Amino acid sequence: MYDTLYISVILPLKLEWEPCYSVPHGMSSGKVETGDRVKVRFGAKEYVGTVSATGITPDIAPERIHPISSIENDLEKVLPEEIALWRKIAEYYLCSIGEVYKAAYPAMKITLEEARAAALKTARERREKIIRSMEERIARIEDRLRKKEEQIRTAREGTKKKLALEEGVAKIRKELDTAKAALEAARAGKAAPEGDGSDMNGNANEQGARLTLSQAQEKAYSEVKAGFAKGKPVMLHGVTGSGKTEIYIRLAQEAISKGKNVLYLVPEIALSRQLEDRLEEHFGERLLVFHSGITAAGRRNTAECIRNSRDGYLTLGTRSALFLPHHDLGLIIVDEEHDTSYKQDSPAPRYNGRDTALMLSLIQNSNIILGSATPSLEETYNCECGKHIMVQLKERYHGSGNADVEIIDTKAERRKKGMEGNFSRKLIDHIRKTLTDGGQVMILRSRRAWAPVLQCEECGELAKCPHCSVSLSLHKSGDLICHYCGYRTRNTGKCSRCNGSLKPLGAGTQKIEEEAAALFPDAKVARLDSDTAQNKSYETKTIKSFAKGEIDILVGTQILTKGFDFSRLSLVAVIAADTLLGLQDFRADEKALQLLEQFKGRCGRRGNRGMFVIQTSQPEHPIYQRIMAGDTECDISHLLAERKTFNFPPYSRMLEVTVRDRFEDRAERMAGKLADLLKKRFGMRPGAIAMPGSPVTGPYAPTVDRVSDQFLRCIRISLRKDRHLKEGKQAVKDIIRQFEKDGKYEDHIVIDVDPA
């Protein structure tokens, strides 16, 4: 008589519990462990799940518990550290662990794993068949040998017959030795099938020579090590061009020399591609790369190398690399920690890569360093509170360099006819001088397409997306495209309301590229934005060509502001800078300050003095003045004080609840009811108008209040960062789940913790 084994399983579904299953007697001897992959039926479908616990006591009747369909022994086990991270993420970001599992092991990844497992199984069966055939052949050869040897014993000495038999025996023995050697080779191959990724480091290159750091870098490096010795995360605040990467490499080399592994996170794929060559010089085959720009098979191979590595590796990747099967991590690097690209907007888990990296460092008991020239206010606050340690690196690696700043008032320039299209004549002169001197130019425009808006000259109607409350953007191809839902239609040039003529307003990157090519016909002009970035080979080629000096002028969106290092770049310019400001977002000034400071830092490298030009119709704006004065530290202090006054993050924990419904009146009504429940729980009168610092604000319609035929209403909740924070977050989740259940309103409400 056997006791039934019950297990709990994590499924890739939005479930608030982990279903219980039984393991049939005799299935792999009933041996199931935490982390094993099992196939189970849930509802009408089968899923591959992960065993989260074994030997549990069910809280439902045994007859209601379904058996698992199979144990997927050919799929890799999930490590305990992976499950621990999933639980942390689910708890912090108020989602289910199943949603985190789905992000870590998406359907495509599982399909590839299953396909590979099936291929390996076929290969094993084929090898076993070959081995059996070889064994049978050896048995036949041995039988022939015995018969020949028996004939030799009965033959008379010295006869031709006996000599012939002896020659035949020698040949058979040689044939037998060859067959046995082939059998041993086949059996050895059976233990480790070719290409299984079992040991990536067998031929790994030795790490590159120890880097020579400048005096300022050595000082910062020592302070980082001292911070690690205290067991705290370190924030490396290094000005652009100060050589933060060299410090990262030195720290990574040390970790790997101790047999530890390293995770190096960057916010964008483009930045990863520029770093790859540089890191390969130092880490050779120890360098692994993981992001959505490489093939699914390539990502799978990277995951296998990490899982099976027996020596140190460095993984370079974007935020999704956090979900790899890491073990023995000695160091985590989060470069450009301030970048909003680290934030996952949709679907759940809506996590921030920076904060998740901090969770992972605790689970792995590893050191973690965050770096930026423009630290986020959250990181600045963490350092002021003593939770993290701030290390300053204020000297540029190749000397002073830096950039002069010039603000050009486009309103004044237009009055005196000083504009040619979207370029002021002052900027044109700066570009000409830069090109004449052999330098390169980057031009930032925050809007892609050819024209962001089309307006009817007769009735004033804007060409809008039929599914979203936004204007359609005109692309050079002649298509009108919605940058929210992807809706696309041909531009007829006629207003759908009155049949009047549609006139393009404003300029996107495509138009700026076109104007630059016309103004500077001898220059090589290229563009880099999310449209061109869809072609990964084009993106990589463009970045490499610009780095080699084969492109003179590069036009693009915010992707240009990332941590690129181009030695000949001496002029950077922002066109229509005002679109970076005025957003209905309490983080707007912080984001604009970071973006402009980062972009300014792209030029003036290698000790050369660069120039930063801002074209704006608001030259008096404080952000521009701070950039011009080089006094961003004062601005950070001002922004922190402002956040504290209004109880905004980092002085509170903010949750944004979004109600989505295809009926506007129902979205408004349900959001109002939910807001009243939340206000009641957090000590406010239902229906009360929120004042600055109120715990619950809304519901309100966001700037874009309709996306993909779904009307949106938002509620913001500010929770104090005290001992009741966890309880408060859980209360929000419980209220929403009960509200969904009572109103039969599932799948209409989204919770975003720490919205970007």
pLDDT at residue number 262:
98
pLDDT at residue number 29:
53
pLDDT at residue number 401:
57
Q: Give pLDDT tens digits for 14-31.
A: 999 999 999 988 775 558
Q: Give me 573's structure tokens.
A: 């310019």
Tracing tokens 């160091």 back to the chain, one arrives at: 331
Q: Give pLDDT tens digits for 351-398.
A: 999 999 999 999 999 999 999 999 999 999 999 999 999 999 988 776
- Cα–Cα distance, 299 to 305 (Å, whole number): 10
Query: Using omega within 30 degrees of 0 as the cis cutoff, is the peptide bond preceding 325 cis?
Result: no
Section 613-635 average pLDDT:
86
On the 0-12 / 13-18 / 19+ scale of CB atoms within 10 A, 629 is exposed
Section 677-706 average pLDDT:
87
pLDDT at residue number 333:
98
Section 626-630 average pLDDT:
83
What residues form DSSP beta bridges with 526? 554
pLDDT band at 190 (very low <50, low <70, confident <90, very high): very low
pLDDT band at 131 (very low <50, low <70, confident <90, very high): confident
Query: Using omega within 30 degrees of 0 as the cis cutoff, is the peptide bond preceding 686 cis?
Result: no
CB 735 within 8 Å of CB 686 = no
Tracing tokens 């693009």 back to the chain, one arrives at: 556
In this structure, of 318-332, 389-403, 519-533, 648-662, the range with the lowest mean pLDDT score is 389-403
In this structure, of 154-158, 344-348, 545-549, 672-676, the range with the lowest mean pLDDT score is 154-158
Give the Å distances, CA to CA, from 576 to 409, 581, 639.
10, 10, 24
Section 696-723 average pLDDT:
95
Q: Give pLDDT tens digits for 573-585.
A: 999 999 888 666 8
* Percentage of residues of the chain with pLDDT beyond 90: 65
CA dihedral 168→170→176→181, nearest 10 degrees, is: -150
Q: Give pLDDT tens digits for 103-122.
A: 999 876 666 666 666 666 66
pLDDT band at 508 (very low <50, low <70, confident <90, very high): very high
Strands (DSSP E) found in 182-285: 234-238, 261-265
User: Does the pLDDT of residue 668 top 80, yes or no?
Assistant: yes
Q: Which residue has the higher pLDDT, 582 or 222?
A: 222
Three-state DSSP class for residue 24: coil
* Percentage of residues of the chain with pLDDT beyond 70: 92
pLDDT at residue number 296:
85
User: Does the pLDDT of residue 309 top 90, yes or no?
Assistant: no
User: Does the pLDDT of residue 191 top 50, yes or no?
Assistant: no
What residues form DSSP beta bridges with 456? 502
